[in-house]
Structure 1
Amino acid sequence: MARIGYARVSTLDQDLDGQLARLTAEGCTLIRSEKVSGGSREGRPELATVIAFLRAGDELVVARLDRLGRDTRDVLNIIYEIEQRGAFVTVLDPHVSTQGPMGHIMLTVLGMVAQMERRFIKERQREGIERAKAAGIYEGGKRRFDRERIHALHAEGIGPAAIARAVGCSRMQVYRVLRDSSA
């Protein structure tokens, strides 16, 4: 029986240290972490690795349920998958485990709260953007990579993979930038 920890933050500028310290203090022998949105299960390779690693009697530990996911259906599906492997889930804050009969009810309610919180966050964000647009100060999201540099490197004859490494984006994003500019 292993205690395996999973930690997640949504953005690159958020810090995993608090979750990692808590999971270590709880005796997790293996901890996987990632910086990716919890709005969906998609694109979360560390979570998939943890689930695939779980064996009968193992325990997956998360600091808070919203670290596992912010969509109730996703969270319940993740818990179901874990239980199909004979393992169980423990949430540290508030302390709830799927080992007991009340754990499932509590985790379902907590999952619904996490999903509702995500909807509130998105709604506040949308309202803030609308206010900024109305005030004429909205500039859109910040660019994550330099599109002009992609074009310059491409003009020099450098291939998409090398451009992606140089700019710090995926090869697919390079293809999109080049495609969108030629249209």
Structure 2
Amino acid sequence: MSKIGYARVSTTDQSLDLQVAKLEEAGCDKVFTDMASASNTKRDGFQALLGYLRAGDTLIVTRVDRIARSVLDLQTLVNHLKSNDIQLQALEQPISTDSASGKAFLDMLAVFAEFELNIRKERQLEGIAAAKNAGKYKGRKPISDKAKQSILSLRAKATPVSQIASTVNVSRNTVYKVINQDINK
């Protein structure tokens, strides 16, 4: 019976250090980590964790939203753990899957975590729409006609795309777009 920890942050700008320290302080023998969104269930650390857990183990997280962002994902995970005789415990929330009240509280937290995620997505979309309406979300500046002519001139000389991109100081994708636009004229 081992205590196994799992820590996750959404972006590389965030640090796992605090979560890992709390999990080690709680007596975790091993801690798996990920730097990815919880909505991505194909996280490397999460998959390794699931392969490592054994009957009688306790999976410990700092908070429920570190391991799942939707009610369905959490319930699927809890059912998987329960069928393999593995307990789930959260350090900052009074939950543990070894009691009915702990399981009920876990489900409530999952609902709020999913609600929070959906609200954040809505706000983000509203912000993008407002920025577009204000003219602040215009996309990239188009390349100059001079740069387009340079690209076409170099391509006519059979210059490789990578070399054209480097010479004109644009991406390879931009080179391909200019060439395709010229072909489709």
Common fold, TM-score beyond 0.5? yes
Q: Secondary structure of 2:75's match?
A: helix
Gaps of 5+ in 2: 141-160, 167-171, 181-185
Equivalent in the alignment of 1:28: 28
Equivalent in the alignment of 1:87: 86
Q: Is the 8 A contact 1:61 1:90 kept in 2?
A: yes
Indicate the structure (1 or 2) with the bigger Cα radius of gyration: 2
Distance 1:154 1:65, change over 3 A: farther
RMSD: 2.5
In 2: Cα distance, 1:9 partner to 1:153 partner? 39
> Aligned partner of 2:39: which letter?
G
Equivalent in the alignment of 2:97: 98
Gaps of 5+ in 1: 142-150, 157-173
In 2: Cα distance, 1:154 partner to 1:81 partner? 53
> Aligned partner of 2:28: which letter?
C
Structure 2-normalised TM-score? 0.75
Distance 1:72 1:25, change over 3 A: same
> Aligned partner of 2:162: which letter?
A
Q: Is the 8 A contact 1:2 1:29 kept in 2?
A: yes
Q: Within the alignment, does 1:152 sit opposite 2:162 as a pair?
A: yes
Q: Within the alignment, does 1:128 sit opposite 2:127 as a pair?
A: yes
Structure 1-normalised TM-score? 0.75
- Greater shift after overlay, 3-12 or 98-107? 98-107
Q: Please list the CA deviations of residues 49-98 of structure 1 after superposition, one character each: whole Å capped at 9, or x if unmatched.
A: 11121111100000000001111100110111111111110011112100
> Aligned partner of 2:106: which letter?
L
Distance 1:100 1:128, change over 3 A: same
In 2: Cα distance, 1:39 partner to 1:31 partner? 20
Q: Secondary structure of 2:4's match?
A: strand
